[in-house]
């Protein structure tokens, strides 16, 4: 085995810690940490999916939380009609998210820069208000999910530890998937278009279509994370796709490091921990958080990932 | 040199805000010739390249590639017909390695890139042609370096390698020696000389030494029109050309 860099060590330690966390919880009986870690892992999946478009494609979507909401409602609405099959839930979450990404992407991806940010945000707010206005599913008040998704006899999500491991394994799988995508021909085109779109077109790439496919993949993955989130919270409301939620996802990615695979996981982790610690100290913790955010953007270009040493040449 | 026309340009017209950049340009480019386009600044040379490569669409007129009307074909489809271009201002992907830049050029011609699983940079089908193109321009030693920090001359070489890697039949070179010192410039010219006869080259260039060394035929553009087309000897002798453009330049070029 090659000797590990600092970056490699941090990745390994974080993953091992996450893998062993339920054992620790089991020994100490502090259920609270399992709840915290489950939320962390789910949001890490969302952040990693956002990073595929934001980091590798420089498509700064300010509406990514919409997919978390779509995924969560894909669990909640069938459950409302007493359909508890988890495969159906996940299927709806992924397909509807992909369809939403495709249709909005057709419009959004014709714009660049600030316009892209604004229009992705606008579409997510449309979803937000759509769910607010549907009284049947609780409207503003949200929807309680009484029964978690059912995956047959072997995987019982009602057990919190099982749910946690499903989320954790999902994170590992999605990290591996994105790693493959980023290094594939497709990933090369996406990163090439990030660097110089005119050149990519003059080489013969229809960059719009490649970007659209990338946008759809990211949306579908985040929809999947949303389905996990719906199971986890047992209570869903339009608030979870508010634009501030999208902003938090962006912050996690930027905090962790945009052009690294594992950075967003670290970003999500630090975000959740800080939120937890600071909110315990002071009612107005968001003030401190805001200052911290500004400092990171000003002084930590490249996020946590850049503190872990220079990136080796690809 | 074949006598058949590879690219026919007829009555091309393009104006920006009422100012005609291309004003009724007609020009035939023959198979496998090096066709230089010269003219004073503002004559519309780069606008012409932009239109022939589909970056800017003309207001009127027609562009025909091997009998096929491509006037309004989007830029990203033209490379698949065998067209490639280099840019006047270096256009590479700065945060990628030299090899990755060229691999992308190879990839563009190797069918679609909706392949999500296998790593591209270890794929021999992509890297072998890429290395070959880099060797051709003398940049193979820098293959693993990030492209951005390289020198201007190396950027120009990379730019050319990306053109060659697509194995093109018709190449637009927009001032390949732009901003180069004497030495780099001479090297670029001899590199282009070795390409002569393998593909058709449309060369936009300010350096008259380069133009007269490379061109089979020359078109002189003034105010968006071709005022003369002919062999270097004919262009040298053309009184109209001397008056309109070459002047002092001409005397130094002829030596």
pTM attached to this predicted model = 0.91
Query: Six-digit token pair at B99?
Result: 């090899």
pLDDT digits 0-9 by tens, A156-196: 999 999 999 999 999 999 999 999 999 999 999 999 999 99
pLDDT score at B252? 47
Please indicate, yes or no, if residue B222 is contained in any of the structural domains: yes
Chain B positions touching A57 (Cβ under 8 A) are none
Contact of B130 with B105, CB cutoff 8 Å: yes
Minimal Cβ distance to A313: which of B97, B119, B162: B97
pLDDT tens, B144-161?
Answer: 999 999 999 999 999 999
Give pLDDT tens digits for B21-78. 999 999 999 999 999 999 888 888 989 999 999 999 999 999 999 999 999 999 999 9
- Total number of domains in chain B: 1
B70 CB neighbours in chain A (<8 A) are none
Instruction: State the smallest CA–CA distance between residue B107 and chain A in angstroms.
Output: 8
The closest alpha carbon to B133, from B87, B164, B171, belongs to B164
Q: What is the mean pLDDT of chain B?
A: 89
- Contact predicate A61/A120, CB 8 Å: yes
pLDDT at B254: 44
CA–centroid distance for B245 within its chain: 22
State the average pLDDT for chain A: 92
Choose from B52, B100, B116 for mutation: most chain A CBs within 10 A.
Answer: B116
Q: Domain segments of chain A: what residues?
A: 40-242
pLDDT at A275 over 80: yes
| pLDDT cut 70: percent of chain B above it | 95
Taking residues A57-73, report their average pLDDT.
Answer: 96
Is residue A75 scored above 50 in pLDDT?
yes
For chain A, what percent of residues have pLDDT higher than 90? 75
Q: To the nearest whole angstrom, how far is the Cα of B12 from the nearest Cα of chain A? A: 21
Q: Is residue B78 part of a domain?
A: yes
As a whole number of angstroms, the distance between CA B169 and CA A300 comes to 47
CA distances from A76 to A63, A68, A100, B188 (A): 21, 12, 18, 65
Instruction: Test B144 with A195 for CB contact under 8 angstroms.
Output: no
Mention every residue, 6+ apart, whose C-beta is less than 8 A from residue B16.
none
Distance from the Cα of B46 to chain A's closest Cα (Å) equals 15
**Alpha helices (H) in chain B, listed in sequence order:** 45-52, 98-109, 124-137, 152-165, 182-195, 208-214, 232-237, 239-241, 247-254
Dihedral, CA of residue A126, residue A127, residue A133 and residue A139, to nearest 10 = -140
Contact status of B250 with chain A (Cβ, < 8 Å): no
pLDDT of B250 reads 47
**What mean pLDDT comes out for the span B131-146?**
94
Rg, Å, chain B Cα set:
18
> What sign has the CA pseudo-torsion A90, A96, A98, A100?
negative
Residue B13 lies inside a defined structural domain of this protein = yes
Instruction: Provide the percentage of residues in chain B whose pLDDT is more than 90.
Output: 64
pLDDT at residue A86 above 60?
A: yes
CATH number at residue B28: 3.40.50.300
State which residues form the domain around B22: 1-82+202-255
User: Which residue, among A204, A210, A260, would best test binding to B if mutated, counting the most B CBs under 10 Å from its CB?
Assistant: A204
Within a domain: residue B219?
A: yes
Question: Is the CB of A203 less than 8 angstroms away from the CB of B117?
Answer: no
Residues of A in contact with B87 (CB under 8 A): 199, 202
In chain B, which residues have their Cβ closer than 8 Å to the Cβ of A185?
107, 113-115, 118, 120, 123, 126
Question: What is the DSSP code string of A248-302?
Answer: HHHHHHHHH-TT-SSHHHHHHHHHHHHHHHHHHH-TTHHHHHHHHHHHHHHH-TT
In angstroms, the separation between the Cα of residue B120 and the nearest Cα of chain A is 5
Question: What φ, ψ does residue B203 adopt, rounded to 5°?
Answer: -115, 115
How many angstroms separate the CA of residue B126 from the nearest CA in chain A? 10
Using the Cβ of B116 and the Cβ atoms of chain A, whether some distance falls under 8 Å is answered with yes
For the record, the structure tokens of B81 come out as: 């017909």
Rounded Cα distance between A23 and A15, Å, is 14
Residues B222 and B245 sit within 8 Å (Cβ to Cβ): yes
- A199: nearest CB among B77, B91, B126: B91
Q: Which chain A positions have a beta carbon within 8 Å of B98's beta carbon? A: none
Report CB contact under 8 Å: B113, A206: no
Contact B97 A200 (CB under 8 A): no
Residue B35 near residue B201 (C-beta atoms within 8 A): yes
- State both tokens at A261: 């695979």
Q: What would the mean pLDDT of A81-88 be, rounded to a whole number?
A: 94
Res. B255 pLDDT band, cuts 50 70 90: very low
Band of pLDDT at residue B1, cut at 50, 70 and 90: very low
Query: Is the predicted pLDDT of residue B247 greater than 60, yes or no?
Result: no
Would the CB atoms of B108 and A203 count as touching at under 8 Å?
yes
In a domain? residue B24? yes
Q: Which residue has the tokens 């996802």?
A: A249
Please name the member of A181, A186, A188 whose beta carbon is closest to the beta carbon of B103: A188
Residues 49-108 of B with CB under 8 A from A: 53, 55, 74-80, 84-85, 87, 91-97, 100, 103-105, 107-108
Rounded distance, CA B248 to CA B252, Å? 7
- Whether B134 maps to a domain, the answer reads no
A284 burial (CB, 10 Å; 0-12 / 13-18 / 19+) is exposed
């Amino acid at each position: 085995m090659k000797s590990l860099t600092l970056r490699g060590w941090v990745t390994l330690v974080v993953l091992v810690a996450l893998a062993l966390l339920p054992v620790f919880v089991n020994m100490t009986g502090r259920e609270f940490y399992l709840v915290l870690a489950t939320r962390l892992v789910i949001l890490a999946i969302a952040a990693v999916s956002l990073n595929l478009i934001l980091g590798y494609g420089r498509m700064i979507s300010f509406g990514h939380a919409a997919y978390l909401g779509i995924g969560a409602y894909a669990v909640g609405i069938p459950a409302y009609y007493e359909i508890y099959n988890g495969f159906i839930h996940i299927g709806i979450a992924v397909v509807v998210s992909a369809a939403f990404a495709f249709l909005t992407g057709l419009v959004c991806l014709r714009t660049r820069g600030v316009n892209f940010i604004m229009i992705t945000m606008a579409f997510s707010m449309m979803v937000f208000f759509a769910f607010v206005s549907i009284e049947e599913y609780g409207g503003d008040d949200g929807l309680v999910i009484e029964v978690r998704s059912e995956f047959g006899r072997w995987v019982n999500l009602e057990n919190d530890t099982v749910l946690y491991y499903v989320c954790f394994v999902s994170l590992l799988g999605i990290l591996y998937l994105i790693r493959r995508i980023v290094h594939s021909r497709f990933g090369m085109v996406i990163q090439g278009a990030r660097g110089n779109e005119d050149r990519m077109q003059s080489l013969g790439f229809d960059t719009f279509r490649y970007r659209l496919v990338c946008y759809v993949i990211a949306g579908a993955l985040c929809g999947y994370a949303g389905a996990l989130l719906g199971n986890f919270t047992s209570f869903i409301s339009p608030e979870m796709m508010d634009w501030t939620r999208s902003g938090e996802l962006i912050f996690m990615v930027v905090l962790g490091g945009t052009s690294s695979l594992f950075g967003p996981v670290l970003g999500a982790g630090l975000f959740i921990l800080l939120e937890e610690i600071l909110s315990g100290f002071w009612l107005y913790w968001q003030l401190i958080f805001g200052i911290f955010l500004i400092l990171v953007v000003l002084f930590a270009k490249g996020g946590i990932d850049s503190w872990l040493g220079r990136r080796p040449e690809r | 040199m074949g006598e058949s026309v590879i690219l026919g340009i007829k009555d091309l017209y393009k104006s920006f805000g009422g100012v005609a950049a291309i004003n009724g340009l007609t020009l035939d480019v023959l198979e496998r010739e090096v066709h230089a386009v010269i003219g004073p600044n503002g004559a519309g040379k780069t606008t012409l390249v932009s239109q022939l490569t589909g970056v800017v669409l003309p207001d009127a007129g027609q562009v025909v590639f091997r009998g096929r009307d491509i006037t309004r074909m989007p830029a990203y489809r033209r490379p698949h017909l065998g067209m490639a271009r280099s840019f006047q201002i270096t256009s590479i992907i700065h945060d990628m390695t030299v090899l990755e830049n060229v691999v992308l050029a190879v990839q563009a011609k190797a069918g679609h890139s909706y392949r999500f699983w296998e790593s591209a940079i270890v794929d021999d089908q992509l890297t072998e042609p890429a290395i070959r193109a880099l060797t051709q321009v003398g940049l193979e030693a820098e293959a693993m370096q990030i492209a951005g920090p390289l020198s201007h001359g190396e950027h120009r070489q990379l730019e050319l390698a990306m053109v060659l890697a697509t194995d093109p039949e018709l190449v637009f070179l927009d001032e390949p020696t732009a901003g180069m010192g004497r030495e780099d410039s001479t090297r670029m010219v001899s590199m282009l000389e070795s390409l002569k006869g393998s593909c058709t080259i449309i060369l936009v260039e300010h350096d008259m030494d380069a133009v007269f060394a490379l061109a089979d035929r020359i078109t002189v553009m003034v105010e968006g029109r071709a005022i003369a087309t002919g062999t270097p000897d004919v262009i040298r002798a053309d009184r109209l050309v001397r008056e309109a453009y070459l002047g002092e330049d001409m005397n130094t070029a002829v030596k």
